[in-house]
């Protein structure tokens, strides 16, 4: 079966879901949920994304997002990569966190947005984590009811479906969510293979005419998203940019500040490229014994520095 194509255009709205590799937990404690929301806030700022709804579960997440720049693949690659890097650092692990390919459905805005919001907000109830959607801390349902979390969730668009007055709209939205997901939609989204487009026939025709008509396989499906590997060239450029110095200055420091930069660079080479002392010695022109002393005496790279590196390397 042909690998599906992701359809991207400015203003497109998607329901996105990703699950832990082998269904492993991607959120083990409160700190991890908070970390993911921080990554989500960064994505909003960097890539001009609008999050209309989200639900974070122990081993997967759901997002309802809008891409004014038509850049879903870029956004998701950044989000999954940066969160994986930071999660791995917190729990001292290596390797893939997610199963490698996220599911996404292109959504016709007016017809299905509120239905998907209801589905996403009821996910914790369906999983028997809580009895009421507002009891789960890690969905956007509370934001719709109280107006909190405005730095992440854009609530105005979907609230407008329920009226012009906010208080009444919030009550109506809450009642709508509690009414439950229609059986037909539940069946579609519970299947292993999601539909590629959730829409009316007219919207499907528009999508196929504009984006699929030249493909041999007319079926719109998913495409595999692989995380871009970190290369020495990319790492070197990112280091020089963040530490504000040239590569030669990193290799041959002339003062205490330069020595601190080199120590940070050594730590980051160890973390991202898994270089041993022998390879670090060749790269930085320092003996292995000297490298050992530098890394024992100097502080390792801070989490703030690593976060900056994650963002640059994910681009």
pLDDT per position as a tens digit, 54-93: 999 999 999 999 998 888 988 999 999 999 999 999 998 8
Q: In this predicted structure, which of 12-21, 168-177, 279-288 has the lowest mean pLDDT? A: 279-288
Same domain, 106 and 63: yes
Q: In this predicted structure, which of 62-76, 194-208, 234-248 has the lowest mean pLDDT? A: 194-208
Is the predicted pLDDT of residue 39 greater than 70, yes or no?
yes
- Structural domain for 277, as ranges: 232-314
Same domain, 256 and 188: no
Same domain, 206 and 236: no
Same domain, 42 and 177: yes
Q: Point out which residues pair with 197 in neighbouring strands.
A: 106
Same domain, 60 and 164: yes
Residue 4 included in any domain: no
The pair phi, psi for residue 55, each rounded to 5°, is -145, 125
Residue 220 included in any domain: no
CA dihedral sign, ordered 161, 162, 165, 170? negative
pLDDT per position as a tens digit, 110-150: 668 899 999 999 999 999 999 999 999 999 999 999 988 77
Q: Mean pLDDT: which of 104-118, 167-181, 190-204, 219-233 is highest?
A: 167-181
């Amino acid at each position: 079966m042909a690998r599906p194509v992701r359809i991207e255009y400015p203003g497109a709205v998607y329901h996105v879901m990703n699950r832990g590799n082998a269904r492993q937990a991607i959120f083990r404690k409160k700190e991890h949920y908070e970390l993911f929301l921080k990554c989500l806030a960064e994505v909003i700022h960097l890539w001009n994304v609008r999050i209309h709804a989200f639900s974070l579960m122990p081993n997967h997440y759901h997002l309802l997002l809008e891409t004014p720049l038509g850049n879903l693949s870029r956004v998701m690659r950044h989000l999954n990569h940066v969160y994986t890097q930071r999660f791995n650092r917190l729990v001292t692990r290596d390797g893939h966190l997610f199963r490698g390919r996220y599911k996404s459905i292109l959504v016709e805005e007016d017809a299905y947005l509120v239905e998907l919001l209801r589905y996403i907000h009821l996910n914790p109830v369906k999983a028997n984590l809580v009895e009421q959607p507002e009891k789960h801390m890690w969905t956007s349902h509370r934001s719709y009811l109280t107006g909190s979390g405005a730095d992440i969730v854009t609530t105005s668009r979907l609230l407008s479906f329920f009226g012009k007055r906010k208080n009444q709209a919030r009550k109506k939205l809450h009642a709508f969510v509690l009414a439950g997901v229609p059986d037909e939609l539940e069946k579609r989204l519970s299947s292993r293979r999601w539909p590629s487009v959730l829409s009316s026939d007219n919207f499907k025709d528009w999508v196929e005419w504009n984006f699929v008509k030249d493909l041999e396989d007319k079926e719109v499906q998913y495409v595999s998203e692989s995380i871009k590997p970190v290369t020495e060239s990319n790492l070197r450029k990112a280091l020089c940019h963040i530490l504000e110095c040239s590569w030669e200055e990193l290799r041959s420091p002339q003062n205490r500040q330069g020595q601190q930069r080199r120590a940070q660079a050594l730590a980051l080479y160890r973390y991202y490229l898994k270089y041993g002392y022998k390879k670090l010695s060749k790269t930085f022109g320092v003996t292995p014994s000297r490298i050992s002393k530098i890394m024992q005496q100097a502080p390792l790279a801070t989490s703030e520095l690593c976060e900056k590196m994650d963002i640059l390397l994910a681009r």
